[in-house]
Amino acid sequence: MIDVRKEIEKYEPIDLAQEEELQQDEFIEVLQHLQKSLNRFGKDQYKTLGQVEEVLELLEASEEKDKVYGDLRKEAKKKDEEIDALLLAIIMVTDALEDLYYYTVKNNEGSWAEQLSLLWEKLGQKLSYYGIVRIGEEGTTFSSHHGIAEGISKDANRSHGEIVEVIQLGYVYRGRVLRKARVIVNENEERVKYE
């Protein structure tokens, strides 16, 4: 059998003071590791806080830009509406001159017709300069994108689809049709047979 006393005598007696010092050293070492971890955490937290503040500033700037962009879109829409109103007024004035021009040309009013023809041509140039183009003039080819055929004429001496009479001119502003022309279009029977 094992003699417990002999076995215990083999080992040194425990010195409680030494054991306490070891525990204090370990505790100090643990505290030092904890302090290092807390310092590192503090630095990381500071960096993270700085990054969060930057993100918040960017979000605020983005919201401000969105608001400014929305205001600019509203202002642009308002300006477009004002431009449309001005274009409508220009077309109304041009319509009045158009009526006078066609009346004098058809009634052959001599020098008065010549003066209005020059004025009509000059007006067309000025409108074109500012991006407004007349469409549906007599002698041009009809296009359903730019005109409405109010009637058909059958003249063998004219081309198929040629505008033979203008009821009301149309206008295009920078590629956008403001008003379609109302016209009488020639239908050549020879052409219709082959289509």
* pTM exceeds 0.75 for this model: no
Q: What pLDDT shows up at residue 79?
A: 92
Kindly indicate the confidence band of residue 20, based on its pLDDT and cuts at 50, 70 and 90.
Answer: low
DSSP reduced 3-state for 172: strand
CB contact at 8 A, 154 and 187: yes
Tens-place pLDDT, residues 130-150:
999 999 999 999 999 999 999
Q: What pLDDT shows up at residue 147?
A: 93
Q: Is the pLDDT of residue 30 over 80?
A: no
Q: What pLDDT shows up at residue 114?
A: 87
CB contact at 8 A, 90 and 132: yes
Which whole number is the average pLDDT over 56-73? Answer: 84
Calpha distance 93→101 (Å, rounded): 12
The DSSP string of 26-91 is HHHHHHHHHHHHHHHHHHHHHHHHHHHHHHHHHHHHHHHHHHHHHHHHHHHHHHHHHHHHHHHHHH
Q: What pLDDT shows up at residue 195?
A: 47
Q: Is 113 exposed, middle or buried (0-12, 13-18, 19+ CB in 10 A)?
A: middle
Kindly indicate the confidence band of residue 15, based on its pLDDT and cuts at 50, 70 and 90.
Answer: low
Q: List the structure tokens of 45.
A: 């937290």
Domains and CATH numbers, the chain: 133-195 (2.30.22.10)
Q: What pLDDT shows up at residue 194?
A: 45
